[in-house]
Structure formats: structure tokens, C-alpha cells
Chains A and B, each alone.
Chain A
Amino acid sequence: MQSRDKYRIALLSAYALALHGFESLVPMPIPWLRVGLANIITLTTLILFGFRAAMMVTLVRVTLASLFIGSFLGPGFILSMGGGVLGTIAMGMVLSLLPRIFGPVGLSLIGAFFHNLAQLVLAYALFIQRTEPVIIIAPILLLIGTVTGLVNGLVSDLLIKNLKKGEESLQNSVS
């Protein structure tokens, strides 16, 4: 890994961490409901710098955020780690296997879907162990995830295009 990549990953992780931390401060009608703003950074990293960088950013973000909030190795940490990792893997796989079909919005929807899927499975296996509440909550979670995934995808798209533009103008001014 080049030092430039390390620098990028550190910077992007810091952005993701800031969004994650900010989000945990915003009160929500349901306590575990999250918009998943940090996924904007994960998705942007994935598209601009590849899967390994995106996974790195996710791991750094989830670990550090849980240390800051104080939920390291707790149930919230396990859920957000599982969701983050599976979401990133799903987005990475779709991007490399079917690169033309989905843009950032589609990838974000897929990421949100697998994020929720992982959290449901983990919550069921580790904490709830009753089928009924999981089945009741699954479609509601799916709907919320689709809406937040859509918003995050649009923001990522905007961010990616502006970053590319910024990078071009930066390179032009340097050279």
C-alpha cells in the first residue's frame, strides 16, 4: 500500500467517523434507526479507490466509532460491524461483477439491503432468537433502508462527481 493510499484511507475514515458520530447524536424516533450517512463515504471510497480501501475505511470507522461512543465489543458494535462489512462486500462484488448495470444509487441500495440483512441475521442469532419479531420488522427495515439508501446514493453520486472535478482541476493546477 502506498503512502498516498494510506493518507487517503485515513482522511476518508475520518470523514466517515465524523458522519457516524454525528449520526449517533441525532435523536431518532426509534433508537436503533440510522440513516447510515457513513455509507456515503464507504461507497465513494469504493468507486474512487477500490474495494480494499473501502473495506479498510469501514473497519476503521466502525472500530473507532465504537471506541469513542463506548460500545466496543458490545451488541451495537457487533451489529454495526456485521452490517458494515457485509454491506461493503456486497457493494464491492456487485461493482466488480456487474459494473455497468448499477450506478452509485443502485450500489447504495444494495449496500443498505445487505447491511440490514446482516444486522437482522446477527440480531436474530445472538440476541432475539425468536422468529416472529424478526419477520415483523424485516419488511419495515427493508423499506426504511431503501429510502435511506436512495438518499445516500444520490449524495454519493454528487460527491463522486464533484471530487473527480476537484481532482482534475487540482492536477491541472499542479502540472
Chain B
Amino acid sequence: MSFRETVKATTSGDRALLVFLVLISFAGIFAVKEALSHANEVSIEVDGRVKFRYPLDIDRSVRVEGDHGGLTVEIKDRQVRVTEASCPKKICERQGWITRGGIVCLPNRISVIVGGPEKNDGRRLDAVTG
């Protein structure tokens, strides 16, 4: 019994199953790739530098110190919000829960950004001043 005969002896069920599994796994790999390019990470920048990176799917709250006393970032159910900001206008707090984009606290020079790897979430800047 040679190897070639063995290959010939496979049933059509065998072959269909093989094709099906290969297709499913490639479809799965592409689906995962697609899903991963979406926001999965929260990065917190202070003064333009990334200070913290957290996965979006683990609930937690973090205190971030800034120029104006800092603020607290809360991550829950894949949403992000700012609480207890020490800035005067509290625009960041009022923005509430976000699932994409970012929250900026200007007095503290802190930005909280929901996004995966920087290259694919449309965060490229048009211009930088100052």
C-alpha cells in the first residue's frame, strides 16, 4: 500500500471536511485580524507622551497625575470615561463614556485615547502648533 494509493482511498467526505476546515480557519484568521484592528486598547498620554496603555476589556480605574492635579480614568464594559478631574471646566468629565476617539483634558495636558496600534485608527495629525 503506497502513499499515493492512500491519498486516493480518501472518501469524498474526508475531502469535503478538509476543505471546510481549511476555509473556516482562514476565514477565522482574517476575521480576527479585522477585529484586532479595531480599538482594543486605551492609551493615556501626559504631555504628549504615552504614559499608560491598558486593554479595553479589563475593567479598572486609574489615577493619572497631570499639571493641574490630574484625573481618574475609568474603564468599564469596553467604555472609557474621565471622573474626578481637577480642572476648572471639567469638559473631560462631561464628555461621559466613549467607545472610540479620545478625551482631552487641556489644563492637565492629558489625553485618553481609545485605539489599537496608532497607524490604523486615523489619528494622524494634520498639523502641530506650539
Contact = CB atoms under 8 A, between A and B. Distances in A.
Task: Identify which of A100, A135, A139, A154 gathers the most chain B CB atoms within 10 Å of its CB.
Answer: A139
A48 B17 CA distance: 22
B47 interface: no
A90 interface: no
Contacts of A98: 13
Interface residues of A, number: 29
B102 interface: no
Contacts of B21: 109, 113, 142, 146
B10 to A, nearest CB: 5
B14 A146 contact: no
B29 A106 contact: no
A98 B55 CA distance: 45
Interface stretch (B1-9, B105-113, B118-126): B1-9
B29 A140 contact: yes
Interface string B9-25: 11101100110011011
Interface residues of B, number: 27
A139 B32 contact: yes
Contacts of B17: 102, 106, 109-110
A113 B17 CA distance: 11
- Chain A contact residues, majority secondary structure: helix
A142 B28 contact: yes
A139 B13 contact: no
B10 A103 contact: yes
A100 B29 CA distance: 32
Interface in B11-58: 11, 13-14, 17-18, 21-22, 24-29, 31-32, 35-36, 40, 55, 57-58
30 contacts: A98-B13, A101-B11, A102-B14, A102-B17, A103-B9, A103-B13, A103-B14, A105-B11, A105-B18, A106-B17, A109-B14, A109-B18, A130-B57, A132-B57, A136-B36, A139-B24, A139-B25, A139-B27, A139-B29, A142-B28, A146-B18, A146-B22, A150-B18, A154-B3, A154-B6, A157-B9, A157-B10, A158-B1, A158-B3, A158-B6
Interface of A: 98, 100-103, 105-106, 109-110, 113, 130-132, 135-136, 138-140, 142-143, 146, 150, 153-154, 157-158, 161-162, 165
